[in-house]
Chains A and B, each alone.
Chain A
C-alpha cells in the first residue's frame, strides 16, 4: 500500500522534531525510542520488520533490528518523533528508487518502504562509513536525521565529501573512496599532517545530503574537558 504522510518538521535545524498526522488506518514506522509524544488512540507494535535477514542488515548498518509500527487503528491521531542527538531531520520521497543512508541516520518511514543493510566491503572499511550502509527502497516517505544541520547538494558531475559528513545519497550516484585529489603527488606528508586523508568522491547525477558537524572531531574537542576517574 502506498500512502503519503501528512507531516511537519519543526525546531529546525538544531533540535528538530517530526510530527506526523496519521489518517485513520494509516501507519508510520520508526526506530525504537524515537517517539516523543503521541495521541492515545494510536497503537504501537514492535517487531522485526521485513524478516530476520533484513533486520540483521539494519543492525549491521548501525540501527536497531527492531522497528516500531504506529497504527491509527481507532481514528486519526498524531505522533511526534525526535532524533537521538542534536540535529536536523530531512524528508525524502522515494518513487521507486533507493536512497543510501549513513550508519544510524534512519529515523522513520511510511508504508511502502523497506530499510535494510547493504554490504560495502573494502570501500566501506576505508571510507570510515562502516562496512554496511543502510538502503531504503520502495515508494513513500522517508525521514532521516543528521548531526548538525543538513545541506542538500545537487551533484551533476563529480563531488568530494569527507567521509564523516555524509548523511545520505541517492542510488544514482556512484561513490568511490579516494585520497583527496590535491594530495596526489603531494606525497605522504600531506596525507599524514593535513588531517584530510580519504574522501568519498561522488560521480553521476543525484543528490547528496551533508551534515554540518561530524561527531569524531567534536569528541576530540570535548575530551580534554572530561573529568578523569581517580580512586
Chain B
C-alpha cells in the first residue's frame, strides 16, 4: 500500500534559486505536489539565501509529467507556465503520482514511455544497420587493398626492392658476420650461384652473408640480399637441405613478397587514414614497415608460393625439390619440442600440408635425374666449431 505521508527526495528547478536548482523533499497531497528545500541542501547554502527559500507547489490538476535524466527513469513534473519543475528519481514516486491524480498522470507517463521506447527502437535499428555496413565496408576494403597491392607491385621497378632491402640490411646486427673467404660463406655462395640462373627474375642481384648465431634461421630481403645463420648450417645434414632453404628464401625475393607486405600494410593504413582524414601516423608506419621483421614474415599463402617456386628452381638446377621438405622434416622430428630453436620452421605453414604440396608439385614435373651437390658440408661444420 502507498503511504500517503511518504516523502521523496528529489529536486526543483526555478529561476529564483541560485544556480537554478536545489535538492528538495517532495510530498504529494491529494491535490498538490509540494517541494521544500532539503535540510542538507540548506546547510551548504549561504544563510542569507536560506531565508528566501520558499516551498514550491504544483497543483496535480495542471501538472505535466515527463521522463528523462541520465538514468532515463527520472520523473519531471512541470506547472502550466513551465517555469517550475519538480523532479524525483525515487521508486514509488510515479506510482504515487498516478494514485493521487486518479490515474490521470500515470496515463501521461505511459504515453511518454511509449514514445521514448519507439525512439530507442528506431535508433537501435539504424545503429545495427550502420555497424553491419561499416564491417562489410571494412572487410571488402581490406581484401581490395591486398589485391590492389599485389597488382601494383608489378609496376614497381626492381631497384625499389633493392633500396628497401638495403635499408633493412642496415638494421641487422652484422658484428658476427663471417668473412667472404670463410668456408661457410663460400659454401652458401656456391649454392646460390648454382640456383641463380633459374630464378624467376634473372637480373636480381643475389648476395648472401653468413652470421654466427645459434639461431636456426635464414631469410631473404627484398632485392635479393640474404642472411644465413650458422645455427642452420650446423643443423643441416646435406648441402641439398641448405639449398632447399635457400631456394625457398630466394623465391620470396623473386616473388617480391617483402614489397607486397609493405605495400599491403601501407595500403591498409592509407585507406583508413583516407576515411578518417588524418595522415599523421602514415609516416611513422612507413619507417616501421622498413624494419626487417615485417619484411621477412609472410602470410601462409606467400609461404606456399615460395615453397613451390623454390621447388621449381631446385628442379631446374638439377636438385631434388623435396630437399625443402627434408630439412624442416628433420628439424621437426629432432627438436620439435624445443621452442625457440626452430625459428625458421615455426614461422612457416603447417608441416604436413607443406610436405604434401611439395610432393604433389614434384609429381607434375618432368622426370629427371638429380645430380647431388659437389660440396663438403662436413668441412664447413668443422670450421664453425
Contact = CB atoms under 8 A, between A and B. Distances in A.
Interface string A188-231: 10011101000000011110000000000000110110101011
A16 to B, nearest CB: 21
A64 interface: no
Interface stretch (B70-78, B178-186, B352-360): B70-78
A125 B123 CA distance: 15
A224 B23 contact: no
Interface in B4-35: 9-11, 13, 19-24
Contacts of A154: 20
Contacts of A176: 119-120, 123
Interface string A159-185: 000000000011111111111000000
Contact of A139 (B41, B74, B126): B41
Contacts of A204: 66, 68-69, 76
B276 A195 contact: yes
Contact of B21 (A2, A118, A170, A226): A170
A226 B133 contact: no
A172 B278 contact: no
Contacts of A140: 44
Contact of A178 (B23, B123, B171): B123
A205 B85 contact: yes
Given A170-B21, A172-B68, A228-B287, A195 B89 contact: no
B280 interface: yes
The number of chain A residues touching the other chain, given as a range, is: 35 or more
Contact of A100 (B68, B70, B133): B70
B122 to A, nearest CB: 11
Interface string A70-108: 000000000000000000000001111110100000000
B283 A224 contact: yes
B281 interface: yes
Contacts of A39: none
Given A173-B68, A204-B69, A96 B40 contact: yes
A4 interface: yes
Nearest to B171: A231
A15 interface: no
Contacts of A173: 68-70
B277 A171 contact: no
Interface string B262-296: 00000000000001111111011001100000000
B127 interface: yes
Contacts of B171: 230-231
B87 interface: yes
Nearest to A231: B171
Nearest to B45: A95
A141 B40 CA distance: 12
A143 interface: no
Given A172-B11, A172-B68, A173-B69, A96 B85 contact: no
A32 to B, nearest CB: 26
B43 interface: yes
B227 to A, nearest CB: 16
Contacts of B130: 179, 191
B189 interface: no
A223 B44 contact: no
A7 interface: no
Interface string B37-53: 01011011100000000
Contacts of A97: 11, 21, 23
Given A95-B11, A172-B11, A223-B280, A2 B275 contact: no
Contact of A224 (B10, B66, B123, B280): B280
Contact of A223 (B24, B87, B275, B284): B284
B280 A221 contact: yes
A95 to B, nearest CB: 4
Nearest to A216: B278
A228 B24 CA distance: 58
Contacts of B278: 220
Contact of A95 (B44, B123, B284): B44
A195 B278 CA distance: 10
Nearest to A176: B123
A171 B22 contact: no
Nearest to A133: B70
Interface string B108-147: 0000000000011001001100100100000000000000
A172 B69 contact: yes
Nearest to B40: A139
Contacts of A230: 171, 287
A2 B13 contact: no
A108 B275 CA distance: 40
A107 B130 CA distance: 37
Interface of A: 2, 4, 93-98, 100, 112, 118, 126, 135, 139-141, 154, 169-179, 188, 191-193, 195, 203-206, 220-221, 223-224, 226, 228, 230-231
22 contacts: A2-B43, A93-B19, A95-B22, A96-B9, A96-B23, A112-B40, A139-B23, A171-B69, A172-B70, A172-B76, A173-B68, A174-B69, A174-B74, A178-B123, A188-B133, A193-B277, A204-B69, A204-B76, A205-B85, A206-B21, A223-B284, A224-B281
Q: Which 6 A/B pairs are nearest by Cβ-Cβ distance? A: A96-B23, A95-B41, A95-B23, A174-B68, A139-B40, A204-B68
Given A139-B44, A206-B21, 7 more contacts: A2-B44, A93-B44, A95-B41, A172-B21, A204-B76, A224-B280, A224-B284
